[in-house]
Structure 1
Amino acid sequence: MQLTPQSRIDDYTAKGWWGDLTLDQWLQRNRRDVPDRLALVDPLNRETLDGHAPRRFTWAEFGSEVDRVAAALLAIGLEKDDVLTYQLPNITETVILALACSRIGLIISPVVMPYRAHELAYVIDTVRPAAVVTVASFAGYDHAAMAVALTGGRNCKVLVTGGDAPRGTIDLDAAIAAADPAKAAAYHDAQPIQPGEVFTIFWTSGTEARPKGVPRDMNHWIVNGEIVAEAADIREGEVLLNPFPLVNIGSFGMVTPWLMHRGTLVLHHPFDLGVFLQQIAAERVNYTIAAPAILNALLKTPGLLDSVDLSSLRAIGSGSAPLSPWMIEGFARDHDIEVCNMFGSNEGASLFSDARSVPDHHDRARYFPRMGVAGIDWPGSRANGMIQTRLVDLETEQDITEPGQPGELRFQGAATFGGYWEIPAITEQAFDAQGFYRTGDLFELAGDESPPRFYRFVGRCKDIIVRGGVNISPAEIDDLLAGHPALREAAVVGVPDERLGERMCVAAVPEAGQAPTLAEIAGWLKDQGLAVFKLPELMVEVPALPRNAMNKVSRRDLRETVLQMLA
């Protein structure tokens, strides 16, 4: 299924951004060139998750298993351009299934395990999959029964892996055991996958509205592999630890550089700090990703990191929320681990600050190289040549060229998607008159050079707190609060005020015992150099910050909680 206009494919191919590669070609190369190298490793604690012993695959074994699963899907009746939705934990079968789909041209549209009928029904209604793959049950919930109920009356098969396939479903494991793997290769050769065809439909996080489907072609994923490998400096044969479900660009973005550099991919599910650290030590992990809140918590637990052998770990990628300077500095100073600050979205907006481009740890927390701007060069960066960015004043739609003026960051280029799945009106609104994708994120120009070489993150356009006519970025305050020694975590939201429009309230999760008072928090923030007009004026104590399935703070839910507590 090709959604990208041929003219765009031809243009980007002529520029050398896109080519004739697919993910399956990387896989076939790896099974041929490094057949005995370890390729894929199950979560260390898999037996406690689903009763199955952890599995390990060499590249030769992995390639054979992909062929067998692809052949099973064909035997079940699926064919090229069918959509397949999976709801699976982060186990080896999930990676094998995704690459099997890429081999025979199926389009995957996965969802996270916590989704229930409301969310899963929306996905099924939207993409109309030919099959849903799930487990019979997980963590006490009957996923197979839910899938059967939601697909009733549709031309959609429910495939169950892991045993105990109930009535009305197909036992995928039995189909795999009976499959002839040679049929996958024959099907692929007869109907080869083109780089401009859709491979994934991932979903926006839904922290502000209903999720939107984001189609991405093989071309997009090849470029993603190049960008992530550049950002993390991923090298041949390295061991990568992926602790997140393979349902979005952040987590699936570990798969592409793994394939590209013929490494070892270690899986983890659900997030467990102790198991995570054990895996780093046991598998000699070189690179992993983690949410800022996790990295903050690690540094706030004295002795924990010192109790584990982290000598193999050279870098960690983090994003989805602003990073704290003290955290980046702490990992570098105390553990010789560089944290790479990553900004991105399923739509393909992507920037990164690593140790090479932004060596200063404090700058790296909030600055991103201003890539894809005429007159600004980043030597050795392929990503810089494949994207274009602009910073736009939301009132005038004019480009911002001077530091200190917030504007919306916009993207176009080889990594950027072409539009949302079957919602043309929203797609039209998502791009500006010049064809740049509107990220909804506020940045400003920063740095001492002329022209400025960096973007500085300010916050989400929709999250900005307007107090007395002055814009305040909650992300900036959250960033500082992450370093408060008496707070496990904290975030701020705006609440309505008749006189000022909005006031700022901090939702505080104490580290232990009683939370600091509002005056103590404000005083601490003031000591960090924060302007007085940005200090919070209200405070509530909460047991935890509300987060979505991807561990992002849901500011919408937090605001509702705060308003209820203040009522």
Structure 2
Amino acid sequence: MQVDQQRAQDMRAKGWWGERTVFSQFESLLAENGEREALVDAINRADFLGDAPRRMTFRQVAEEVDRATVVLHQRGLGVGDVLCVQLPNCVEQFVVYLACARLGIVVSPLPIQYREHELQYILELLQAKALMVYSGGSEQDAPVLRARALVQDGFLQANAVLALGHAPSLTDQENWTALLAKVQDATAQAQMLGKAAQTTSDHVFTICWTSGTEARAKGVPHTHNEWFAQGRVSLGLSRVGQHDRILNPFPLINMAGFATCFFPWLMTGCTVVQHQPFKLPVYLQQLREEAISHTVAPAAILNAMLHKPELVQGIDFKLLSRIGSGAAPLSEWMVKEFQDRWGVSILNFYGSNEGGSLAGSELDVPDPTLRATCFPRTGVAGLQWRGDGMDSVSTRLVDPANEEEITQPGRVGELRFSGPTVFSGYIGDPALTQRAFDAQGYYRSGDLFEIVGEGDAYYRYVGRLKDVIIRGGMNLSAEEIDSLLLAHPAIADAAVVGFPDAALGERVCAFVVLRDGVESLSLAQLSAFLRDEKKVAVFKMPERLEVVHALPRSAVGKILRRDLREILNAEVAA
């Protein structure tokens, strides 16, 4: 898998792409950083992997990457093959990703919440060569048993399961830790294999997954060069350096984790402390004990830290002077209070897996109240920004009704992106790819903004053009959940919408019409069906159920979700 060569030439001519790969960049860190601490596990690792937390220097990471390279090759994986990885946040993610980059293997990281419904679709679409899962902790062997069943059902070949953990039921062919331990003379073998792979910066490194208005998740490929361009923008915002220590609570599966953690680590040689899953007491303990100088956090967590100042006792805010947030609108009060109370700059991220991104820091948006809701109009003629890489991302605001470009304030339009961070197209769906870009080659974000500020310098987020529910930073397709609900034997018609939630941003509400003769349906019954029959990830399940006589539809039969949202809003107002 490689990017279009004409695009590659254009990006190189502008100085935005180069020749380094993920693994060559890692190698460049070793001479100066070999004995420095590189990776630290979450202190509660035993809860989900069943063993003790690990701490690794860059040299130790390199040695384990050598062994991982050999094991992946022995399993038959090579250039262009796809390895799906379903792991919680742990140091081994970095090892696996680096080994794959070395061999030209395409990594497809998956949320640990995905179950049969999602896994079968992805494995079949990608023709994945192997699946790496985990065992131990509270879930015991559930991911491993699920992976074995996928082999039996024909979605994976025999011996295609690798498992991290220490469950007694793991076989010799599955146990990742045992497989690494068996490798002898790994460095020489790994060097030979890496040289033979001839991986280039234009090869695809990852395929991440996103949901929008389509019925199923969409595979988003990114090359090494696209990721480095995104990393440059992220570093320009966070200004993380070699001696910083990052606390990472974002899953290393998509834009959020890769852009704010993996690539800043790879590009600077800083130290990453992993966090999994998001548990506030553990997160705060890590902030105190690990000398963290940069982190990211959901807005709800930052709000809680202000409302309960006892939570932050012992945290050194002179060291932790910059915190990233995003995925939901930020409170002006919160951003200003962090600045006034502790001198902490809250950085505002906006982005999508497809590579469209905006970023606001005190460099370019010094007013903290403005930074909470506004972003620089990057790549627009006449506007200059201080953050590194900001001007490589070109943006335009367009009226989606008539494709007219909007250049004046007070008018809402769809934001569109072009540049070195933007993907080339979805996996296995040319028609969807064509719809994703406009006539000028800009990616259609599906998000609505307006131009604001002195000199028309900023974009302010207004809402979404697409019917996407953003729950806890995860994008959920309303259409996909609709189709799952319609499979229930008691449901004649169904539609879901998001409703506001202080902690998660949005939760899922299902409106259903019952079949004739069915008197009732409870949320517990619906959840049991989705969980046990459809094997759906928990975060996609509705958390509220409304039984109605009919769904509002347009003249052509389209569900009017805005009317459903108005019903919920009216109840809140009452």
TM-score range, shorter chain: 0.7 to 0.9
Q: Which of 458, 461, 477 is equivalent to 1:457?
A: 461
CA 1:441–1:140: 2 relative to 1, 3 Å: same
Give percent identity, aligned residues only: 40
Q: CA RMSD in A?
A: 2.8
Q: 1:354 aligns with which of 352, 356, 361?
A: 361
| Cα offset, 1:408, TM superposition | 0.2
Give the equivalent residue in structure 2 for 1:127.
126
Instruction: Mark the CA change 1:400 to 1:289 in structure 2 (over 3 Å): closer, same or farther.
Output: same
Report what 1:25 is aligned to.
24
Q: Is the 8 A contact 2:113 2:539 kept in 1?
A: no
Q: Is the 1:72–1:178 contact (alpha carbons within 8 Å) kept by the matching residues of 2?
A: no
Aligned counterparts, 1:181-330, within 5 A: 181=186, 182-205=188-211, 209-253=215-259, 254-330=261-337
Contact 1:242-1:266 within 8 A present in 2 as well? yes
- Paired letter, 1:175: L
Match of 1:155 in 2: 157
2:402 equivalent to 1:403: no
Indicate conservation of the 8 Å contact 2:412/2:462, yes or no: yes
Q: Indicate how the Cα distance of structure 1 residues 270 and 73 shifts in structure 2: closer, same or farther if over 3 A, else same.
A: same
Q: Which residue of 2 aligns with 1:82?
A: 81
SS, match of residue 139 in structure 1: helix
Equivalence for 1:480: none
TM-score by length of 1: 0.81
Counterpart of 1:106 in structure 2 is 105
**How far did residue 293 of structure 1 move?**
2.0
Give the direction of change, closer, same or farther, for the CA distance of 1:396–1:248 in structure 2 (3 Å limit).
same
Name the residue aligned to 2:492. Answer: none
Distance in structure 2 (CA, Å) of the matches to 1:299 and 1:422: 46
Relative to 1, partners in 2 of residues 1:207 and 1:307: Cα closer, same or farther, differing over 3 Å?
Answer: farther
Paired AA for residue 267 in structure 2 = M
Going from structure 1 to structure 2, the CA distance change for 1:276 and 1:552 (only over 3 Å counts) comes to farther
**Is 2:49–2:135's contact at 8 Å kept on the other side of the alignment?**
no
Equivalent residue for 1:529? none
Instruction: Return the alpha-carbon distance in structure 2 between the equivalents of residues 382 and 310 of structure 1.
Output: 25
After TM superposition, give the deviation of residue 418 of structure 1 in Å. 0.3
Q: Which secondary structure does the structure 1 equivalent of 2:372 belong to?
A: helix
TM-score (norm 2): 0.80
Deviations 1:70-120 (A, max 9, x none): 111112221121100111110111221111111111111111111111122
Q: What is the CA–CA distance in structure 2 between the aligned matches of 1:162 and 1:390, rounded to whole Å?
A: 47
8 Å Cα contact 2:201/2:225 also seen in 1: yes
Among 172, 177, 180, which residue is 2:176 paired with? 172
Distance in 1 (alpha carbons) for counterparts of 2:75 and 2:427: 26
Q: 1:462: how far off? A: 3.2
Q: Distance in 2 between matches of 1:53 and 1:8?
A: 46
Deviation at 1:308, TM superposition (A): 3.7
> In structure 2, how many angstroms separate the alpha carbons of the residues matched to 1:408 and 1:337?
32
Query: Which is further off, 15-24 or 150-159?
Result: 150-159
CA distance in 2, matches of 1:206, 1:282: 39
Whether the aligned pair in 2 keeps the contact of 1:320 and 1:552 (CA below 8 Å) is no
**Which deviates further from its counterpart, 145-154 or 53-62?**
145-154
TM superposition shift of 1:138: 4.4
* 1:439 and 2:438 correspond: no
Q: Which runs of 5+ in 2 are unaligned?
A: 471-496, 504-522, 528-536, 548-563
Letter in 1 for 2:161: V
508 and 92 in structure 1: CA distance in 2 versus 1, 3 angstrom threshold:
closer
Aligned residue in 2 for 1:532: none
Secondary structure of 2:68's match? helix
Deviations 1:303-325 (A, max 9, x none): 21235444421111111111111
- Higher RCO (Cα < 8 Å, 6 or more apart): 2
Which letter maps to 2:290?
E
Q: Note the C-alpha offset of 1:251.
A: 0.6
Change (3 A) 1:508 1:112: closer
1:24-43 matches, within 5 Å, as 24-43=23-42
Residues 35, 59 of structure 2: 8 Å contact kept: yes
- Cα distance 1:506–1:212, how it changes in 2: closer, same or farther (>3 A)? closer
Instruction: Give 2:376's aligned residue.
Output: 369
